[in-house]
Structure 1
Amino acid sequence: MKHLLTLLCSFAIASLRSPLRGSIRFAMLAVSLCSALVSSFAAEQRPNILFLLSDDHSYPFLSTYGSPNVKTPVVDQLAAEGMKFHRFFTGAPQCVPSRATLMTGRSPVAARMTRFSAPLPRDEITLPELLRDKGGYYAGVCGRSFHLDGATKIGEAAAQVFKEHELKTFASRVDFLNTCSDNEVAGQLAAFLDKKPADKPFFMWANFSDPHHAWNAPAEFRPDPASLVLPPHLPDLPGMREQLADYCAEVNRVDRTVGTVLAELKKRDLMDRTIIIFCGDNGMAMPHGKGSLYDPGSNVPFLVRWPGVVKPGGDSRSLISGEDLAPTLLDAAGLKPGAKMSGVSFLPLLKGEKHTPRKHLFVERGPHGSAPVQADMTNAGYDLARAVRSDRYKFIYNCTPWLPYSPVDSAGGQAWKQMQEANAAGKLSPGLSTTYFKSPRPVYELYDLDADPGELNNLSGKPELATIERELRAALAEKMILDWDYLPLPDLMEGAGSVKKGKVKGKK
């Protein structure tokens, strides 16, 4: 086709220069055909995209990252054949707002998706829509609920509002939509590929439930609890080891499930013509993880395999935001980002070209689940907070500090119960006790992540870090303003310099 395209375009140009009317008519026809062939040729050159999303999956819980707690040979092989990222952060430590960010290239706040039960607004244009409408892709979603058509358990009255105003929109955003269990994802991918027109590239977003709570993977996947290496933010208690073993079993199982999906690509000889991304939607449902603005809540595994473009064995510690995924994949397809996208393409980094890394990234926390507010609730169900992270430091702004901390999804498990008992008996270290049980929680938190990777020593207000805290507060305020955030801005004067002539002192 490339040679035919060159020949037709050359003849069209020559005919336009000819004084003969017939030649001009033919030239116009040739130009029209040339344009159609250009579009067809461009579509043929666009890569297929398979986006694999695990659920509640914290970094570094893949053996490719050096974690001794899990065995993930399938995903490790993807990393070996592509690039792995150590510091990819989702837009929120919860599935609904995080997925909204991944699909829109915008923060959950900007996309109006901080309320867990909300459907994605129709005027928020998603990655699969842009690939389909601008790039000629055949687009699909399968697997576990993608969470962007609103919660299902919302009561009859709310469900009627959804129906009356046609708020469930994903059936019109993609060509193929089918939720299913993890063990059916490979079959759904096969059905999707069977329906795909031969002349179209594809985008498939395949969702997995693992390693989401409840943890029920068979014993064959479960490591010995005694063998586990615990991070500094988790106390070494028997119940903690048992529950962490349950979690690791789910990670091991999703690795095998991914293998069944990749087998379908291999069978169809599509592995070398497809960008494969593996990513977690947010962190693990353990203390300091899911629902929290500490790193384990939003720092997730992220791998990209793209034969011929991404060199095998790539390893990056650049800060990457969930907002950056959609612009990057559109860039890879030769398309411009959506008009409202705030994320930045990191395609140059994937290609080994010059790349300017992010200075800051941002994470938000809002309500979780669909339960109504209750007088005795903890922050697991409802919390309003924001965070900004640089290479070394993190600043957290808590707007509901009076709500006591509780882990999302796992508060009823033996790990949290034993932590509560140990704290009551004075057996937790001061850092752990303050982090999990101090009430009210601090409005402002600042962590030196190099010196304190467990985020257990709050440095907010320390004079020696005043300049750093001032810069992070100003960066967060700028993000909140530009995203039309509904929360009050953090104090830009308290311990963080002064404001003069509308500018934050110390802000570049």
Structure 2
Amino acid sequence: MNRTPLWRSFLVAATLLTLLPTLTSRLNAQTEGADSGTDSTPRRPNIVWIMSEDNSIHYLRHFDPAGAPAPNIEAMAAHGITFDRAFSNAPVCSVARTTLITACYGPRIATQFHRRDTAATMPPGVQMFPAYLREAGYHTSNNSKEDYNAVKSSDVWDESNRKAHWRNRNDKSAPFFHVRTFTDSHESQLHFPASDVTDSPTKTDPESVKLQPYFPDTPLFRYTRARYHDRMMIIDQKVASVIEELKADGELENTFVFYFGDHGGVLPRSKGYAYESGLHVPLVVRVPERFKALAGRTLGSRTKGFVEFVDFGPTVLSLAGLEQPEGVDGKPFLGMDADPEKVDKRDEAFGYADRFDEKYDLIRTLRIGDWKYVRNFEPFYPDGLQNNYRYKCAAYQQWRKLYQAGELSGPAAQFFAPKSAEALYDLSSDPHEVNNLAGDPGQQSRLQTMRRQLDDRLKSMPDLSFVTEAVMVDEATPNPIAFAQSHSGQIVKYIDTVNLSLLPFAEAMPQLQRALDPEQESDAWVRYWALIACSTFGDEAQTLVPLIEKRLTDVEPLVVARAAEYLEMNTDIETEPFMRRSMERATNEPEALRILNTIVFLTDFHDYKMDTSKLQLIVPVNKKGQLIRRLDYLNDRL
């Protein structure tokens, strides 16, 4: 059955006619004897995505001299384009993959939390982009990971399973879009016992690897990086297997082949963290002979133009000759809708990190060229805050033990220390983001400019994280766009309130006083963000303790938890009964989980004591959910 609407057929035909003279001349000169045949009338190209899980640019020699050799990926690059500055918008899989499939920023459409409690509805008029390809006659197949935070319609994939393949299409002449995901580089591959350092030798010599400066230089860390190099060499072989399948089918020179990591990773301080190690991914696109005109570049070239995951879907549609949908955030970097010169000038990337499994934090980043601005909205939370799955890695465990034993200093200790509310990094001299220049007098103009630019982005979206996940799942997920627009003024106010922490305290104090007083501020969420600002100020905010203590009886459980958080960090006031009461009043899982995040933080870093085994929760505890992870961890510490 032909699913292609008539108007799209005309559009594709007109598009190809526009390209025909250029393509024909190139094909006549260059495709004789190619495995794509001798037909000079080009059909629409195939597109194949090869994704490896959990790896940043730091583990491939093609991008970093300290990385692993990958001759097959390098061969792809010799017949294509290397994108040296490609970025996942989020450093974790479900959020990153939802960004890829929707071409929309997660905080704008309510898909920013990993693992999502409730799937968000797609924005009105926007489909997951493979649906547009199917309408145009493409066979779409996914082998096999989906992991989306938005509701998927039935028209996205012709097949999505472990047997999905372009070879399964009924019409063998139809173009195809195929996704292959390889898990050989997934973080679970590093969940080995520390005894493997001596019992399971690696092909890569651990003494030959170059450790990041924020790691302790131990045999275990060296072994872990060497073992990951071995995994990346396996990925390289898997990439070659897909290339060989295309070649065997006579489709290689009809097909754009993308190789990229699904986000950064996977040694400690990468996956789940909005550093370059979590966001900066490898991207190589092999360009087929028959469609070189759509690339607009010399084969074997590299570009430093910035591309983000929101751009990947629009790029596929551009290569397929389809119009760009309205309502998405991305723009093509290849194909008819992309000007290579303009792509080369792109120099901005936006990043976001929110809840990662059971661990909450709220971070936004803006990279412009070699400068990166980071806004840590909850800077009192260290990066090393407990996340059960992360700490299955022996290197993570050793890192924490060394810190607790007082054996770390400098960059190696930063992971377990409070963060700064703002960070500014010069990546040209500090690629691993260990030297924060936010306090440098010579960088204040740049800091304020980038602060303002990021602030404008968050307010114009508007960023739904500022209504909290607990509210979002109850009120926003049925129609996130409509909810965000109807609450845009409130979201701006919440951002302005938490940003009071960036002012000198004497200047911020009168505004915080008003925000904390229910008689002057009726919106509980203004009080919530004011308390976060107070916790950022720490001891400086002692004059507000009487107002903060009154919030222990607030009507909103999350406000109570934030008040207790400040008081436990900065005073001797007893908060345990109020924290317990707030947990037992929580009405959905994200609300309870957010409070437990505070309890785990206080337990691990402020000697807090609370017996959570006797909590009388309203919220059901799903044995496969996130609450059980926090509760199990806390109960094990009793």
Maintained 8 Å contact 1:44/1:200: no
**Cα deviation, residue 68, structure 1:** 4.2
Measure the CA separation in 2 of the matches of 1:260 and 1:221: 23
Q: How far has the Cα of 1:110 moved from its partner?
A: 1.9
Matched AA of 2:415: Y
Say whether 1:279 aligns with 2:260.
yes
Partner of 2:397: 417
What is aligned with 1:337?
Answer: 324
Taking structure 1 as the reference length, the TM-score comes to 0.76
Q: Which moved more, 1:247-256 or 1:114-123?
A: 114-123
Counterpart of 1:79 (choices 77, 80, 84) is 77
Q: CA RMSD in A?
A: 3.1
Letter in 1 for 2:168: D
Query: Residues 307, 36 of structure 1: CA spacing in aligned structure 2 closer, same or farther, 3 A cutoff?
Result: closer
Mapped partners of 2:338, 2:49: distance in 1 = 16
Which one of the candidate residues 88, 91, 103 is aligned to 1:90? 88
Taking structure 2 as the reference length, the TM-score comes to 0.61
Structure-to-structure mapping, 1:134-149, within 5 angstroms: 135-143=136-144, 145-148=145-148
Partner of 2:63: 65
Structure-2 residue corresponding to 1:212? 186
The 3-state SS of whatever aligns with 2:415 is helix
Equivalent in the alignment of 2:460: 482
1:48 & 1:413 partners in 2: Cα distance?
39
For the residue of structure 1 that corresponds to 2:187, the secondary structure is coil
Query: Corresponding residue for 2:103?
Result: 105
For the residues of structure 2 that align with 1:37 and 1:65, how far apart are their CA atoms?
Answer: 36
Indicate conservation of the 8 Å contact 1:75/1:258, yes or no. Answer: yes
Q: Which moved more, 1:356-365 or 1:200-209?
A: 356-365
CA contact (8 A) 2:58 2:67 kept: no
Between the aligned partners of 2:120 and 2:258, the Cα distance in structure 1 is: 23
CA pair 36-100 structure 1, distance change in 2 beyond 3 A = closer
CA distance in 2, matches of 1:87, 1:40: 29
The answer to whether the 8 Å contact 2:95/2:149 transfers is no
Matched, 1:428 2:408: yes
User: What CA distance in whole angstroms lies between the structure 2 residues aligned with 1:68 and 1:115?
Assistant: 32
Q: Is the 8 A contact 1:64 1:72 kept in 2?
A: yes
Match of 1:28 in 2: none
* SS of equivalent to 1:215: helix
Structure (1/2) with the larger helix percentage = 2
Letter in 1 for 2:287: W
CA–CA distance in structure 1, aligned partners of residues 92 and 82 of structure 2: 22
Tell me the CA shift for residue 45 of structure 1: 2.6
For residue 49 of structure 1, the aligned residue among 42, 47, 50 is 47
Report the AA paired with residue 174 of structure 1: W
Q: How does 1:118-137 map to 2 (within 5 A)?
A: 118=116, 119=119, 121-123=121-123, 124-133=126-135, 135-137=136-138
Task: Provide the residue aligned with 1:159 in structure 2.
Answer: none
Contact kept, 8 Å, 1:461 with 1:495, in 2: the verdict is no
> Using the alignment, how far apart are the partners of 2:258 and 2:353 within structure 1?
25
Q: Write the deviation string for residues 108-145 of structure 1: whole angstroms up to 9, x where unpaired.
A: 11232112233353445112112222x321111113x2
User: What amino acid maps onto 2:425 in structure 1?
Assistant: Y
CA-to-aligned-CA distance 1:198-224 (integer Å, 9 cap, x gap): 342111111121211221799797412
Aligned AA (1:460): A
Q: 1:205 to 1:420 in 2, by over 3 A?
A: same
User: Where does residue 224 of structure 1 map in the other structure?
Assistant: 205
Aligned to 1:17: none
What is aligned with 1:302? 283
Question: What is residue 268 of structure 1 aligned with on the other side?
Answer: 249
How big is the shift at 1:36?
Answer: 10
1:48–1:273 contact (8 Å) kept in structure 2: yes
Report Cα offsets for 1:248-289 as digits up to 9, x if no partner: 222111211222222211110111000100111111132331
Q: How many residues align?
A: 426
Structure 1 Cα separation of the partners of residues 155 and 315 of structure 2: 23
Counterpart residue number, 2:350 = 362
Decide whether aligned partners of structure 1 residues 279 and 333 sit closer, same or farther in structure 2, where only a CA change above 3 A counts. Answer: same
- 2:239 equivalent in structure 1: 258
Contact residue 261 and residue 281 of structure 2 kept, 8 A: yes
Greater shift, 275-284 or 305-314, is seen at 305-314
Residues in 2 aligned to 1:482 and 1:476: alpha-carbon distance in whole angstroms: 10
Post-superposition offset of 1:54: 1.0
SS of the residue corresponding to residue 132 of structure 1 reads helix
Q: Secondary structure at the match of 1:173?
A: coil
The aligned counterpart of 2:485 is none
CA contact (8 A) 1:62 1:76 kept: no
Consecutive unaligned residues in structure 2, runs of 5 or more = 1-5, 18-40, 467-493, 508-638
Matched, 1:312 2:299: yes
Render the CA deviation track for 1:358-382: whole Å, top value 9, x for unaligned: 242100001112x4xxxxxxxxx22
Question: 1:194: how far off?
Answer: 3.0
Moved more, 281-290 or 218-227: 218-227
Out of 304, 308, 333, which is 1:346 matched to? 333
1:56 partner amino acid: D
Quick one: which amino acid aligns to residue 147 of structure 1? D
By how many angstroms is 1:302 displaced?
0.4
- Give the 3 Å change call, closer, same or farther, for CA 401–321 of structure 1 in structure 2: same
Q: For residues 268-323 of structure 1, give each alpha carbon's deviation from its aligned partner in whole angstroms, at most 9, with x where no partner exists.
A: 01110001001111111323311111100010110111124243211112222111
Deviation for aligned residue 1:232 = 2.5
Residue 389 of structure 1 pairs with residue 367 of structure 2: yes
Aligned to 1:117: 115
What does 1:313-328 align with in structure 2 at a 5 Å threshold? Answer: 313-328=300-315
